[in-house]
């Protein structure tokens, strides 16, 4: 088993991740019913995001925080959704890759999710 080294490695990771996400009972509906995006556009954005995070390519220019605040307004995102997302992400990374970048993919997802969860939870407070 090798480490994550190229955009193609990330492409496989993202595609395999979504094979688990789409039929998932807890979070699949966000991708199939809540948002109306096209996979042809979304997949390359996700690949670029992880290429930027892990391989330093600067190919992603966007704001995931804003996207998820908008998503939460359409259908409330709660901690269980984040836990499920992270579980499936970690499972997919571990199935495919081993090494520093693979560890980083898991760790960075957890730290980004923690920030997203906190910002979204704060928006759910009254007042």
DSSP-derived 3-state class of residue 58? coil
Mask of contacts with ligand HEM, 38-77, x by CB under 6 A?
A: ----x--xx--x------------x-x--xx--x-----x
Is the alpha carbon torsion for 90, 44, 9, 24 positive or negative?
positive
Among 17, 18, 85, 97, binds ligand HEM (CB under 6 A): 85
Tell me: does residue 112 bind ligand HEM (CB under 6 A). yes
Alpha helices in 1-127 (DSSP H): 7-21, 28-29, 39-55, 64-74, 79-96, 100-124
Distance of CA 99 to the CA centre of its chain: 20
Tell me: does residue 120 bind ligand HEM (CB under 6 A). no
3: CB partners within 8 A, 6+ apart: 97, 98, 99, 100, 101, 102
Q: State the minimum distance, in angstroms, from the CB of residue 57 to ligand HEM.
A: 14
Binding positions? 42, 68
Tell me: does residue 35 bind ligand HEM (CB under 6 A). yes
Note the residues at the interface with ligand HEM (CB under 6 A): 27, 30-31, 35, 37, 42, 45-46, 49, 62, 64, 67-68, 71, 77, 81-82, 85, 109, 112-113, 116
């Amino acid at each position: 088993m090798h480490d994550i080294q190229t955009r193609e490695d990330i492409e496989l990771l993202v595609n395999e991740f979504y094979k688990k996400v789409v039929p998932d009972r807890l979070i699949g509906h966000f991708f199939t019913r809540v948002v109306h995006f096209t996979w042809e556009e979304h997949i390359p954005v996700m690949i670029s995001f992880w290429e930027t995070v892990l391989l330093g390519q600067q190919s992603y220019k966007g704001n995931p925080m804003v996207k998820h605040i908008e998503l939460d307004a359409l259908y409330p995102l709660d901690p269980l959704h984040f836990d499920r997302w992270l579980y499936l992400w970690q499972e997919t990374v571990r199935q495919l890759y081993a090494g520093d970048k693979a560890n980083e993919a898991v760790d960075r997802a957890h730290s980004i999710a923690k920030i997203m969860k906190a910002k979204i939870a704060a928006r759910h407070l009254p007042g």
